[in-house]
Amino acid sequence: MTGRLEGRRCLVTGAAGGLGRTFCSALAAEGARVAGLDLADLGGTGDAVAAAGGRLTAVRADVTDPEQVQDAVDSAAAGLGGLDTVVNNAGVYPLVPFEATDFAQWRRIMAVNLDGLFLVTRAALPHLRRAPFGRIVNVASAVVWLGPPGMVAYTASKSGMVGFTRALASELGPEGITVNAMTPGMIATETAVATGVTRDLDRVVGGQAVPRAERPEDLVSTLLFLVDEGSSFVTGSAVNVDGGFAKH
């Protein structure tokens, strides 16, 4: 049986675990050729993609380093035979009160979440332009609709991603390249647990319309919709997927 993404060439950043690993596996299960970009080891993601019937093209890069990003994106495109889809998922999300946030922390959050988005997208754009059509999906966060305490820098960076999405969609629409964002709610990935972000998980779940914790798999159907060839009229959108907490 042929998957809905048969023949597609997809790059996912932040692919070593969490949402990124789930996205790589889901895209491969639909027949796409998938590259994963991360600084961390991608062996587990390679196994997950293989279990979904695919083979991962693994590329290593720090998304804040322009030269590393350019080399990695070009290597991914070479390994996949081109590139038509980019999922910008790499990000950091420390829980730090505003007055405890020093300038180095602020710059690090902006560098990974915004500079990385810019660098990966800029490096990928020539490849997307050579494809029949292009899809860019940026993983922001539902905090942009909520503005929770203790996450000023993170919220500012993710709000910047939404603005980036809207403006770039306007520029690239005439070329058949769509740019959209997803804004997930709180998900207990290993990194989120380690940084303390999920300490309020019970409160968040209690405020959702869907009264259970969100899982990475809850984002897959939205991702597949946004990268689908038939979604060419959906661009500049930020699709909220948080169980009805923000109700945006």
Crossing angle for the helix pair 43-51 and 18-29, to the nearest 10 degrees: 30
What is the Cα–Cα distance from 47 to 65, expressed in whole angstroms? 27
Confidence (pLDDT) at 186: 85
Confidence (pLDDT) at 201: 79
Q: Residue 115 gets which letter from DSSP? A: I
Unique residue bearing structure tokens 């991360």: 38
pLDDT digits (tens, 9 = 90+) for 165-197: 999 999 999 999 999 999 998 886 766 566 666
Q: Average the pLDDT over 4-26 and give the result.
A: 97
Q: Class assignment of domain 9-241?
A: alpha beta
Collapsing DSSP states into helix, strand and coil, what is residue 104? Answer: helix
Compute CA 21 distance to the chain's CA centroid, rounded to the nearest angstrom: 11
Collapsing DSSP states into helix, strand and coil, what is residue 172? Answer: helix
Is the confidence at residue 1, as pLDDT, over 90? Answer: no
Beta bridge partners, 88, equal 138
Confidence (pLDDT) at 248: 74
Residues acting as catalytic residues: 154
Q: Where are the domains of the chain?
A: 9-241
Beta bridge partners, 136, equal 86, 179
Q: Which candidate, 90, 89, 2, 10, places its Cα nearest to that of 49?
A: 10
**Residue 26 near residue 52 (C-beta atoms within 8 A):** yes
Least confident of 8-17, 104-113, 142-151: 142-151
Beta bridge partners, 56, equal 34
Collapsing DSSP states into helix, strand and coil, what is residue 177? Answer: strand
Confidence (pLDDT) at 7: 95
What is the Cα–Cα distance from 82 to 76, expressed in whole angstroms? 8
What is the Cα–Cα distance from 22 to 130, expressed in whole angstroms? 27
The phi, psi pair for 126, rounded to 5°, reads -60, -35
